[in-house]
Amino acid sequence: QPGVWPSTPYTDWMAKKRIHLYTFLQLFFFALVFVVQNVKKISIVFPFMVFLCIPARLFFFPRVFEGWEMVVLDGEDEQIEEWVDAKEESIRNFEEKQRSIRMGDGSTIAIEDSQRVSSSDDSLIGDDA
C-alpha cells in the first residue's frame, strides 16, 4: 500500500520488515534505559546504560543491518542523498546495459524501448550468412 507510507529513501528502497526491525531495536534500547532510570534499586547504572547505547549503535546494529541500510535509516542527510544518487545512477547504468544485446561475434546492438528484435529480422544478418 504505497499511500500508507510517505516517500522517503528508507521506505522507497528497504523492505518494510527491515524498517520494523530497526524500529523495534530502537524501542527495545529505549525501554531498557527507561526501566533502569525509573527503578530506584538499579537507577545508579543509568549513565552506564546510556553509554552502552553508543557501542550498540556502532557494533551491534551493523551486524544486523547492511551498511547501506544504516546509511538510509540513520545517516546524515548528505550521506543519504549521496547514496540515493549512487543507487539511481547504478539503476540507470544497469538499464542501459539491458537495452543492448551482445551478438555472438562480439558486436553490440543497441535496442530502443520501442523496438523489438526478432530472429527473422534480415537487417541483423551479416554479409557472410
Is the whole model's pTM more than 0.85, yes or no? no
What's the grid cell of residue 121?
Answer: 529480422
Integer Cα distance of 59 and 68 in angstroms: 15
**Residue 36 predicted with pLDDT over 80:** yes
- 82: how many CB neighbours lie within 10 A of its CB? 13
Q: DSSP letter string over 18-45?
A: HHHHHHHHHHHHHHHHHHHHH-TTTGGG
Instruction: Write out pLDDT tens, residues 57-111.
Output: 899 999 999 999 999 998 888 998 998 999 899 888 888 777 765 555 556 665 5
Which among 51-55, 93-97, 115-119 has the top mean pLDDT? 51-55
Integer Cα distance of 32 and 49 in angstroms: 8
- The pLDDT of residue 23 is 94
- 104: how many CB neighbours lie within 10 A of its CB? 5
pLDDT band at 129 (very low <50, low <70, confident <90, very high): very low
